Every structure is written in structure tokens, then in C-alpha cells.
Amino acid sequence: MLIVTGGAGFIGSNIVKELNNIGRTDIIVVDDLTQGEKFLNISDLKIHDYMDKDDFIEKLKNNHFDLKYIEAVFHEGACSDTTEWNGRFMMENNYEYSKSIFLKSIERNFQFIYASSASVYGDNTVFYEQEKNEKTLNVYAFSKLLFDNFVRRYLGKIKNQTAGLRYFNVYGPREFHKKTMASVAWHFYNQIKNDGVCRLFEGIDGYEDGGQKRDFVYVKDAVDVNIWLFKNPQISGIFNVGTGLAQTFNDVANAVIKYMGKGKIEYVGFPDHLKGRYQSYTQADITNLRKAGYSKEFKNVSHGVKDYLDTINAHKAS
């Protein structure tokens, strides 16, 4: 049995889809469907069961279902809103919840592959998995880094696979429900579709208008790393998941404009509430992932955006 927490969310539902593609349907999706429209992310997928996130953690802690049948947990569930400042909620939802699953994975010896975040690097310019490079700018990033550090104390001392994936800026299908936290590719597509103009931030931190750089990684590539780890349970560690290439927000906008054959860019003032809490540059150092044996290439923005928008149009056509 496989469990995907956050399985009705963005990356989680894409993991479920790929597990289906490799013949696995013995999947329990764990999520919170208070935002009911998220069901659309799993309505076309084959799963064994669905479980609310609160019910799941209670049953896990109290051994209310047979843990010996759990092969692996893909832990994608979390509050990923970087503008959420309720620290008590964030720590319970992201940190304590993750600890409970992780400690049970050690006890019951199942694979534990979990979502971390590139936000742990803050405004540093070196993105290599070392504590000296880590600096959190918001409580979301703090919750992720604290859990990474908790895991680090166990790595090399436990038998079961434990792998943390520091996702950089992931974009792609099944993110519609994320609203303001959806990728800029999704927002640019909808802005151009609605009024022909995509809106980017003016320059800040020495960058020109729309010139801030991020490592934009296509969700299918991020999922492929998850599946590769699942197939290689001897590999543990904390790994960056990105392309290794920083590209500008202008690059993303121009890729969307090119695909749609219309549209223009407009620059808007940088929000005051994000100043000092915003990553203007990220670029994954994927040396450790390559050393571990992952060899596939990652799509750049032009190829990833094309595949993404092809998927959107194919869905509409069906």
C-alpha cells in the first residue's frame, strides 16, 4: 500500500497520476477537501481509498490500521502559503504532522519521501544543501527547515529510506486550486487569456523589471525524482529539486506569450509586504542529486511551459 499525503494537491496528485502510469492503484490519498474543488485533481485517477488528514494522523499514531502493509509514504501535504503568519498553525500542520509520519516510518520501516522547499535558503545566493546556506524569511520556510534539521539527526542511523526534496519553483498541471499561490506560468496564462496583459513586478534588489530570477522546475520532472527515489530505496538524504538554471520572470511571460500568439507585459509596483521576505534569485545546485545517481535532464522554461499549456488545451478539448 502506498500513501500520498496532499494527494489531492498539486504535486501530490501528479505523483498519484505517475504511480497509476507505472501500474500502482493501491494508493490511499490523504488530504483536506474543505476546498472541495480540489477533488478535480484526483477525479480522473485510480486510488484505493481517500482519508481526511486529521483522521489519518490519528489512526497512524494509534496504529488503527495495519501498518505492516504500508510500503511507502509520499508526504506532500502542508500549508504552502508563504504569506501565512499564523506560526502556531504552520508548526502544527507542517512540522509536528511531518514528525509524526517520519517517526512512524522508522518504527515500521517504510519508505518516507517528503516535500521540503527551496524557501529554506532565503535570500542567500548559494543553494547547496548545507546549513551555512540556509536562512528563512517567513514562518513557512522556518517550518520546513526545522523539519529538515530534525531529519538530519537521524540520517545514517536508520534503516528505512528517508528522502527530503527541496522543490524550487514548481509549475504545471493540477495547480488551479492554489489561487494566489499558483505558479506565475498559470497566472500569466490566465491574465493573457482574460485581457491580453500579463503583470510582472517591477525591479527590486538590483534586478531590472521582470528580471528577478528563479529556478522554475516543471512538475513532471519533480514527480520523476520522487518515482526514481521510490524505485531506489537504498538512497536517503536531502536533495535540491530544480533545473540548475535560473531564468527570469520575463522568460516565463515570453514563453506564454509565444505559445498563445498574443499578449504583452506590464510591470507593477513591488508589494510592500513582500519586501525583505522575497527570494529575488534562486538556482538549485543539483550536485548531490546527480551524485546519488539521478541522471535525467530537466526541462527549461520554454519546453516546460509548452507542455503545460498543451495539457491545459488538451483538457479543454476533452
Q: Of the residues 97, 121, 140, 189, which is catalytic?
A: 140
Name which of 75, 53, 35, 317 is nearest 175 in CA terms.
Answer: 35
The grid coordinates of residue 184 equal 506565475
Longest dimension (CA), the chain: 56
The grid coordinates of residue 214 equal 528563479
In the annotation, is 178 catalytic?
A: yes
Question: Can you state the angle between helices 219-231 and 10-21, rounded to 10 degrees?
Answer: 60
Q: Which residue has the cell 502544527?
A: 92
The grid coordinates of residue 67 equal 501498518
Q: Of the residues 178, 193, 207, 267, which is catalytic?
A: 178
Phi-psi map region of 239: left, alpha, beta (phi>0 left; psi -120 to 50 alpha): beta
The whole-angstrom separation of Cα 264 and Cα 229 is: 41
The whole-angstrom separation of Cα 160 and Cα 158 is: 6
In the annotation, is 154 catalytic?
A: no
Cα end-to-end distance, the chain, whole Å: 32
Q: Which residues are catalytic?
A: 140, 178
